[in-house]
A and B are shown apart, each in its own frame.
Chain A
């Protein structure tokens, strides 16, 4: 009888845990399907587009095709949706592809100026996680640049901000003080 009670208690705990995990995943999924800039996109139709996203794999970038849903078709909205996908990281099918920034990094703001420079404002979590060498830093920046350049017509360069502030460098090797452009073209 005692064994039965223990078994029932364990089953109850397992069921609660499973429900919690499921709920958490559903919440995450809901968050992920929110438009990046909901206030600007309110009242507009949803649109599903194919995006080509770039992630580091070894010492080069690998492309990953992904269907993304966005609301509104302005370049800022499209760029926001692309960055949101990049921040989620590569999907499992990409094999050994690596994320551009640590999991949990969020996009705090985005602006594209008249010259086509996209100003990507990330939160400080971007700088945490596994440190990068020069090639890793280069590939991470190149992943953002290449993904935006190929999916958002007006973007010609990218510049990073952390918590709204300009920075010298992201991970200690490359110049983040200016927009990066041509030298990051994927060969």
Chain B
């Protein structure tokens, strides 16, 4: 009888423990999100330009999650597209430059590995590279070194924006609907916003 009671108590407590842990995790992510001033999130492709299979939809969903998190943390945030519509790269870059944010985050999917490409304009290059390196480190920590590529490619967005920022490519085989997978991705993106490594978990 005593054992049964203990079992019942454990069964009842497990969901609460999980909830408490998730809430704690959210709190930590919000702290990271609050460290940014004003952010523009740029979900890639859209409309008649699908990108990789499922890319235009999944990056829009991820952008929405990040936007909600930034808003909750009191950070101003804008999206280059908030629906399934085509926005040219020229329009996206103009939008980012007109908004004059403190941070740009582009979201794409890749065939194989995580990549993070940093803005290259001289005035923002160093800051963007720091952001990129922290993000790559966070992704490597969560998904393993082999899952991350440090190759740099001159992308349209990273060449044309005048603000510190990165474009993140997430492997297409990562199921972003699965929170156990999407949360580490969001964590890696957000915790990179805090420059001090001591603040990182």
| Chain A residues proximal to chain B, CB less than 8 Å | 59, 131, 133-136, 138, 168-169, 172-175, 180, 183
Question: Nearest Cβ distance between residue A9 and chain B, in whole angstroms?
Answer: 44
Whole-angstrom distance between the Cβ of A154 and the nearest chain B Cβ: 23
Partner of B149, one of A59, A168, A180: A59
* Alpha-carbon gap, A169 to B50, bound state (A): 14
CA of A163 to CA of B172, assembled, Å: 31
Asked whether A134 and B52 contact (CB < 8 A) given A59-B112, A173-B108, the answer is no
> Are A131 and B51 CB-contacts (below 8 A) given A59-B149, A169-B156, A175-B160?
yes
Q: In the bound complex, how far is the Cα of B89 from the Cα of A168, in angstroms? A: 7
From B88, B90, B110, contact of A133 by CB (8 A): B110
Q: How large is the interface on B (under 10, 10 to 19, 20 to 34, 35 or more residues)?
A: 20 to 34
CB <8 Å contact, B111 and A136: yes
For chain B, residues 69 to 118, give those with C-beta under 8 angstroms from any C-beta of chain A: 88-90, 108-113, 115, 117
**Which one of B88, B117, B159, B160 contacts A134 once the chains associate, using CB atoms below 8 Å?**
B117
Verify B90–A134 contact, CB threshold 8 A: no
Q: Which residues of A contact B117 (CB under 8 A)?
A: 134
Q: Are A134 and B115 in contact (CB under 8 A)?
A: yes
* Bound-complex Cα distance A172 to B55 (A): 12
Report chain A residues within 8 Å CB of B108: 133-134, 173
- Expressed in whole angstroms, the Cα–Cα distance for A180 and B156 within the complex equals 12
Q: A131-B51, A138-B153, A173-B155 are in contact. List 7 more A-B contacts (CB 8 A).
A: A59-B112, A59-B151, A134-B117, A134-B155, A172-B44, A172-B89, A175-B160
Give the contacting residue for A172; candidates B51, B90, B149; CB below 8 A. Answer: B51
Complex alpha-carbon distance, A174 and B45, angstroms: 12
What are the residues of chain A within 8 A of B50 when measuring CB–CB? Answer: 131
Which are the 9 A-B pairs with shortest beta-carbon distances? Answer: A175-B156, A133-B110, A138-B153, A183-B154, A168-B89, A133-B111, A131-B52, A173-B155, A169-B89
* CB closest residue in chain A, given B53: A131
Q: Quick check: A175 and B151 within 8 Å, CB to CB?
A: no
- Which of A131, A135, A168, A174 sits near B151, CB closer than 8 Å? A135
- Measured between beta carbons, the chain B residues less than 8 angstroms from A133 are 51-52, 108-111, 169, 172
Identify 20 residue pairs between A and B in the complex whose beta-carbon atoms are under 8 Å apart, listed by A's number. A131-B50, A131-B53, A131-B55, A133-B108, A133-B109, A133-B110, A134-B108, A134-B167, A135-B110, A135-B112, A135-B115, A135-B149, A168-B89, A168-B90, A172-B45, A174-B155, A174-B156, A175-B154, A175-B159, A175-B160
